A and B are shown apart, each in its own frame.
Chain A
Amino acid sequence: MPTILSYVAVSGGKPTRASFEVLTRCRQIAEAQGWDLAAVVLAPDAETFAEAAGRYGAATVYAVSSPDFDHALNPPVLAALTTVIELAQPAVVAFPSSEGVKDVLGALAVRTGGAALADVAEFDVSDGAVEALRPVMAAKFMARTRAEAGDGSPVLVSVRSGSYTDEEAPVQPTVETVVFESDASTVRQTLREVVAAAGGAVDLSDARVVVAAGRGVKDDEGKRLVEELAEVTGAAIGASRAVVESGMFPATAQIGQTGKVVSPDVYFAVGVSGAIQHVAGMTNSRIIVAINSNPDAPIFDVATYGIVGDLYKVLPPLIEELKKANAA
């Protein structure tokens, strides 16, 4: 029976929500196709996440533990995933899309003789191939795309966050502990430093609430209001390209087609005009609240609730109302 293998990414010591979205989609496909569902976790202590993967239906969890996975170099990740793919012989391997996944997806496809589909908005299996819908042309269009790998090779798919809803379906998984020792001679690169983003304490990609600042946030006072709104809603702070380029917000906060793709329950677009590349990074948000003084700003085309107004006048009462709601 073929296997579909789902990659569970660990960030800040816990599996990411996007991983469970992908695992849920893999379970749906496994049920429809009559396939086996397995998960793979790479972490310093990978076995500890097996139960979480089982909660979403993974019957087998390949756990690869190594301190190497605490940092960002691609050779050990590639080596470990290749080992697991050789063991599990999956027909399809699905990943939550992230910079870490984008870093290895192509190389892994070549190494395993497989095919790869990056950053899909939806995917399914039909006649032994994977069909997916991908945003293309700077996210102006979707391409319905089909990938077929050679005999015995997998199709690799990375999935944009928020494309699917995570749903639990608990099973007791079999844990396959994969012994892995990184071969130092194959690493050939050195991580000198990780400059962590200065910003909110909440991980943007996984956040349930996001406050995104755009060009309308002009000064320290505007930034302070954005930070206060984030604080009162427990939100992660994001930014449009314009305010990242101006240096007001760090590059790690950039949301959009070339930045982070986010899919929170609530997305506050504060002074964001809504360029198509920005919208591509947040269109999977459940509720979008847009505040912009320009009534014709394209952000209002995607907003669930739009407020045409000056953010400097709208945010203070909004923050007050939210404080009241929190206290109630």
Chain B
Amino acid sequence: MKFCVCIKQVPDVSAPIQIRGGELVMDAGRAVLNAYDASAVEEALVLTAAHGGEVDVLLIGPEKAAETVRKALAMGAARGTHLVVADDAELDSGAVSALLARHLDGHAYDVIATGKQAQDTDAGLAGSMLAERLGLPYATNAVGLAAEDGTLVVTRQGDAGQEIIALPTPCLVTCSNDMNDPRIPNLKGIMAAKKKTIDTQPVADLPAASVRVLRYEPVPSREPGQKLDGEPTEQAAAVVRKLHDASVL
């Protein structure tokens, strides 16, 4: 199976981030491969190792994001494509999916995979938008993938349980990070990645974005609560009394 995994470089959300004047201020040096995309890369590598084929990766991002393409190559992807946009490019999910579709149109991939959402925007829209633009059958929120002859079998986490869906290839799938533990590139992989080519293509005409962030705000905090003292029996009685007074039980 031939996979193309769409990946994104995102800020490391575990790093300190502050708001100043409605803007996020963070250490630009701390950027990582989106965790959900890393799971998609990992799963594609596992499937191609078992069934043959190879994995390409495709990224839209500023010049700095080339390091994230390189990381996916070090994990084991064969080729990388980097669609280069300006640092301050205004891209929403619609514009990202339009750019990806423009690039992928005419490529013969069996499976296009991506993370179910990006850790920075948490929108989770680009995957199904891309499937629609390319006219591909798709499934989202995959927690397991298996390959059969001409079919990708997706286990997805749905509302009422896990749904097992068979998609004929070519198809698209978005992956949850509950699927696997992505490999950490080893020295051999890192050395091999240096020899792999990244097809770098500047993007001249950005598709228009219909969604704009006006400003960032802190998460509203809840009213401070109270700790209940005493022995467990006293604490239990106090909680039940309070819940009873609030008429919630």
**Which A residues contact B (CB, under 8 angstroms)?**
11-12, 72-75, 98-100, 102-107, 109-111, 115-119, 131, 133-150, 188-197, 205, 208-209, 233, 244-245, 251-252, 257-258, 265-266, 283, 286-289, 295, 300-309, 313-314, 316-318, 320-322, 324-325
Contacts and interface: CB of A to CB of B under 8 A. Distances in A.
Given A106-B126, A137-B119, A142-B216, A195 B97 contact: no
Nearest to A134: B122
Given A197-B162, A258-B176, 13 more contacts: A106-B124, A137-B122, A142-B218, A191-B163, A194-B163, A205-B159, A305-B225, A305-B242, A306-B228, A309-B235, A318-B235, A318-B240, A320-B236
A192 B211 contact: no
Contacts of B128: 74, 103-107
B49 interface: no
A209 B249 contact: yes
A142 to B, nearest CB: 5
Interface stretch (B56-64, B134-142, B186-194, B196-204): B134-142
A117 B210 CA distance: 10
B246 interface: yes
Interface string B217-249: 111111101111000110111111011101011
A136 B120 contact: yes
B122 A138 contact: yes
Contacts of A288: 222, 225
B50 interface: no
A194 B125 contact: no
A146 B164 contact: no
Interface stretch (B79-87, B105-113, B165-173): B165-173
Given A110-B97, A116-B93, A146 B137 contact: no
Contacts of B223: 304
Contacts of A307: 227-228, 232, 235, 239
Interface residues of B, number: 81
A258 B177 contact: yes
Contacts of B227: 295, 300, 305-308
B124 A119 contact: yes
Given A144-B213, A251-B162, A303 B225 contact: yes
B131 interface: yes
B200 to A, nearest CB: 27
B158 A137 contact: no
Which 9 residue pairs across A and B have the least CB separation, nearest first?
A106-B125, A106-B128, A115-B210, A107-B132, A318-B236, A106-B129, A317-B236, A107-B128, A110-B132
A233 B239 CA distance: 13
Nearest to A98: B159
Contact of A306 (B210, B226, B248): B226
Interface stretch (B11-19, B40-48, B68-76): B11-19
B225 A306 contact: yes
B236 A137 contact: no
B89 interface: no
A325 B141 contact: no
Interface string B95-121: 001000000000000000000110111
A136 B121 contact: yes
A145 B217 contact: no
B233 to A, nearest CB: 4
B20 interface: no
Contacts of B171: 189
A194 B132 contact: no
B119 A147 contact: no
Contact of B228 (A98, A103, A305, A324): A305
Contacts of A304: 222-223, 225-226
Contacts of A11: 159-160
Contacts of B17: 137, 140-141
Nearest to A302: B222
Contacts of B30: none
Contacts of B119: 137-138
Nearest to B178: A251
Contacts of A144: 213-217
28 contacts: A11-B159, A72-B163, A74-B128, A103-B140, A115-B94, A115-B210, A115-B211, A135-B122, A137-B24, A140-B17, A144-B215, A145-B211, A146-B212, A189-B171, A191-B165, A194-B158, A197-B160, A205-B159, A252-B160, A258-B178, A266-B243, A266-B248, A287-B248, A304-B223, A304-B225, A317-B232, A317-B235, A318-B240
